Amino acid sequence: MCVCDFDMRFTFVLAGWPGSVHDMRVFNDARSRFGDKFPKPPPNKFYLVDSGYPNRPGYLSPYKGLTYHFQEYRDGTMPRGKKEHFNFTHSSLRNVIERCFGVLKNK
């Protein structure tokens, strides 16, 4: 599990869990074991999380069951409705973490 900021810096990394473990199990473990070091969103702000996480105070996931990935919209279909527009914006903002991993892999 990794957390990064919009300057493409990793601010928290937790490795060692098998890939088959559910995201929330890793998230809950990180919060309980590293509570003092685990980054918490500032008041009235949110961290964007992927669809493997539920919405909870401070953490914002996309709407499930709707078009989500930024690449799906590049094919010409633009978002329709508030929920698809939210998912489009969420996906484009979450691209930061994907770029962080791309930069890390190239080093």
Contact 17, 10 (CB under 8 A): no
Cβ contact 105:15 at 8 Å = no
The pLDDT of residue 32 is: 93
The DSSP code for 42 is: P
What confidence tens digit (pLDDT) does each residue in 30-43 have?
A: 999 998 888 888 89
Instruction: Give me the long-range contacts of 11-17 (CB less than 8 A, separation at least 24).
Output: 11/39, 12/37, 12/38, 12/39
Tens of pLDDT, residue by residue over 40-97, are 888 988 988 888 888 888 999 998 887 666 666 666 677 788 988 888 888 888 888 8
- Tell me the pTM: 0.74
